[in-house]
Structure 1
Amino acid sequence: MKFRPAALAAALAFVAAPALAEPTTYQIDPAHTDVLASWSHFGFSRPTVRFGDVEGSVTYDPQNPAASRVEVTIPLSGLQTQSAEFNEHLADAQWFDMAQHPTATFRSTSVEAAGENRLSVTGDLTVRGETRPVTLDVTVNRLAEHPMRKKPAAGFDASVTLKRSDFGLGAYAPAVSDEVQIAITVEAVAE
């Protein structure tokens, strides 16, 4: 029996296609993931708050982005500012009310391709008991074997602008800007 190279390649592609089309679920690495928020403070400065200890998973299918999903929990105890006093200030009832609302969450509702290595990820963000839809602009940084863990890994950057007032955090607006710029970087590894 004689095999034609084109027929063999087509057969191998058909057999391999289901494996390539499978979405991969990655667990977020909190040591290499950051969520940063910045805003205008009376026009004098642009303070930044870092939300660390991010937990969750990213399921990503590069062949079918619509099959992808994101689930993230941000323990607000991981909030860090430039001073311990400001950390305590943001933890109180006027701001994040961490005693009543110790976490923020994001659950995707749709993922769409938005160009080469770009995604539009829409989901429900819950902060301080308020849930609002938000859309993240996402860049797929890299999909490869992690050099240290020897497992599939993924890296993403994302950004979004939110209104503090949508989440019950609107004190002093508009002098302190209602709009907050969020910058996210995620490293995640398949388990």
Structure 2
Amino acid sequence: MRRILASVAALAIIGTAPLWAQGAPSAPGQKNAALITGGTYQADPAHTLVEWELSHLGFSPYFGIFGDVTGTLTIDPKDPQNAKVSVTIPISKVTTANSALTAHLLRAPKDAAGKPDFFGPSPADATFVSTSVKPTGTGKANVTGNLTFNGVTKPVTLATTFYGAGKMPAQMGGSENVGFEATSTIKRSDFGFSNMVPMLSDEVKLKIAAAFTKK
């Protein structure tokens, strides 16, 4: 009798266990470039993020995020060097972990003749438009393009790594997705943001999560 009760209890536990404990299906995205069918993809604004990091007074790194990125990626997996990417980054939607600091980044000048400390209350969107793609290894490439930020356009190179591709589950739309990671370093003074250099570092590290959906 005890064995029967133990078996019933075990079955009940298994039946109520989380899906992941019961061998749930693997993630639909895989690090397999063969799953990229090619064509034109739209940036996923909910999952494309640009993280920026600088040194705060030499004591610690500080970072924030730009989101709601829009744009397109055109890619042929058989001809990756001819890929094209163009994205728009809404600077006005900058996010940090501190509401007062976020407000400071978007604060108007203290007087009519002055400049804002950082972005100001109505900053123009930034854009990045690729000009060349140079593969550097399996799943890796240097993507060079023109970054327009604060009215200044400068060439910037992104060290890019393929992250994953595949189809979303049917109940989530079934669309084809592809994603990448990228890093770069820029000087903010090159784009007219020299306030508090070098107390706040001139060099800004960028870390990008780029997600694209085929429509």
Q: Fold-level match, TM-score > 0.5?
A: yes
TM-score range, shorter chain: 0.7 to 0.9
Provide the rounded CA distance (Å) in 2 between the counterparts of 1:54 and 1:65. 22
Aligned length: 171
**Cα offset, 1:61, TM superposition:** 1.7
1:157 aligns with 2:181: yes
The CA deviation string for residues 3-42 of structure 1, in whole angstroms up to 9 with x for no partner, is xxxxxxxxxxxxxxxxx99841111111111110011011
Counterpart of 1:178 (choices 202, 210, 214) is: 202
Q: Secondary structure at the match of 1:176?
A: coil
1:95 aligns with 2:101: no
Number of the residue aligned with 1:129: 151
The CA deviation string for residues 83-122 of structure 1, in whole angstroms up to 9 with x for no partner, is 22211211232312342x3211100011121100001100
Q: 2:145 is aligned with what amino acid?
A: G
RMSD: 1.8
TM-score of the superposed pair, with normalisation by structure 1: 0.84
The aligned runs of 1:1-191 (5 Å cut-off) are 23-92=38-107, 93-99=116-122, 101-147=123-169, 148-191=172-215
- Over 3 Å counting, the alpha-carbon distance change for 1:47 and 1:72 in structure 2 is same
Provide the rounded CA distance (Å) in 2 between the counterparts of 1:47 and 1:21. 35
Provide the rounded CA distance (Å) in 2 between the counterparts of 1:21 and 1:77. 33
TM-score of the superposed pair, with normalisation by structure 2: 0.75
- Over 3 Å counting, the alpha-carbon distance change for 1:23 and 1:146 in structure 2 is same
Q: Secondary structure at the match of 2:208?
A: strand
Q: Does the 8 Å contact 1:51/1:78 carry over to 2? A: yes
Q: 1:122 is aligned with what amino acid?
A: T
Number of the residue aligned with 1:16: none
Q: Does the 8 Å contact 1:21/1:63 carry over to 2? A: no
Provide the rounded CA distance (Å) in 2 between the counterparts of 1:189 and 1:59. 11
**Cα offset, 1:170, TM superposition:** 1.4
Unaligned runs of 5+ in 2: 1-34, 108-115
Number of the residue aligned with 2:110: none
Provide the rounded CA distance (Å) in 2 between the counterparts of 1:149 and 1:178. 43
Unaligned runs of 5+ in 1: 1-19
